[in-house]
Amino acid sequence: MNMLRTLAHHFLPYAFSLLGLFGVYLGGSWMGVGIIVLFIIHPILDHLFTKVFGEIQKLDHSPSNVSVYLYPLYQTIALIWGIHLISLETSTTYQTFGAISLGLITGGFGITLGHELIHRPKKWEIGLGVLLLSQVSYSIFRIEHVFGHHRNVGTPKDCVSARLGENIYSFIPKAILKSFFSAWEIEQSRVKIKQLSIFKNRLFHYLVFQIFWMALFYAIGGHVGLFIFLAQSIIAVILLELVDYIEHYGLQRKEISPGVYEPVTEKHSWDTNFFVTNTSLFNLGKHAHHHRQAGLPYQKLQSSEKANQYQFGYSTAILITLIPPLWIKLINPKINTSFLK
């Protein structure tokens, strides 16, 4: 069983993304296979495999980093190849399906792994994380997430801690806009405190990345190639913010004095132990442990007993968030609101 879980961590991120890419290769209406993979196949297998193999509390044998380090190269090739194929389609509808499928791949697996890498201690690992984030036009996540979200989670200062009763449709645009402003403020503060040149602001470096990708995809597919790149970026970032919404919905830290909040604990995150969620998303469901030890590699994350627990995996949760009344009906009663007072 331990070997099965280890192999799943290596295999499933590639397997799901390859299904979506195969649809892009087939073309036409097959371009939308990525949508079916994330919103139908993934949640079904998540529930089925969890029943068969059980929930994953922790890994007894840590997978190596081989699949982690190979993925940035794999996604770079897949993105270039995918956008080339989609740009050859004559139907705008099929091009849109292809862009959505690509965005679900780069957002679901690319951003998740990028998130893992930007928390690693080595600069070259962080660089790989920024590379993946740049491919969805969201390198600022490296700044805001590490130096903003992890400090401010569960407080009004946090860009991506959804309030109790807040619906996903108002949350996403607010979270994206605030994240950009927050990253800018964090970097401006760093430059000022360290008395650095304004050109040491990392957001300018990320802008160079962005211009490179936009120029490359314009060269590959003209304005259609550029549209596909930007469209898949939007889908990927929306998917990220859907996950952000799920991870901390309704959980707040007590303000113990004006502007000062209680320390972050397990109770300020939602966990899920579902099999496919954690094996395909690098243990992202062990979110409470991640917030206690942000630099800990995904292989060592464990389920937290005191964390709020979802009774379904992430892909199922995403589907439910899209129907706000259903989400509120299912989730609000699970939240212990005593610590909100």
Provide the pLDDT for residue 54: 80
Instruction: List, for residues 33-50, the tens digit of each pLDDT value.
Output: 999 999 999 999 999 999
pLDDT top residue among 290 and 62? 290
Phi then psi for 22, rounded to 5 degrees?
-65, -40
Instruction: List, for residues 3-13, the tens digit of each pLDDT value.
Output: 666 677 678 99
* DSSP code string of 210-257: HHHHHHHHHHHHHHHHHHHHHHHHHHHHHHHHHHHHHHHTT----EEE
Q: In angstroms, rounded to a whole number, what is the distance separating the alpha carbons of residues 196 and 210?
A: 23
In this structure, how many other beta carbons lie within 10 angstroms of the beta carbon of residue 78?
22
| Model pTM score | 0.94
Provide the pLDDT for residue 306: 86
233 in Cβ contact with 137 (< 8 Å): yes
What value does the mean pLDDT take over residues 282-302? Answer: 94
Provide the pLDDT for residue 245: 98
Percent of the chain with pLDDT over 90: 87
What value does the mean pLDDT take over residues 21-42? Answer: 96
Cα-based distances in Å from 267 to 34, 48, 147, 181: 34, 28, 21, 28
* DSSP code string of 279-290: HHTTTTT-HHHH
Instruction: Enumerate the domain spans of the chain.
Output: 2-340
Coil/strand/helix, residue 270:
strand
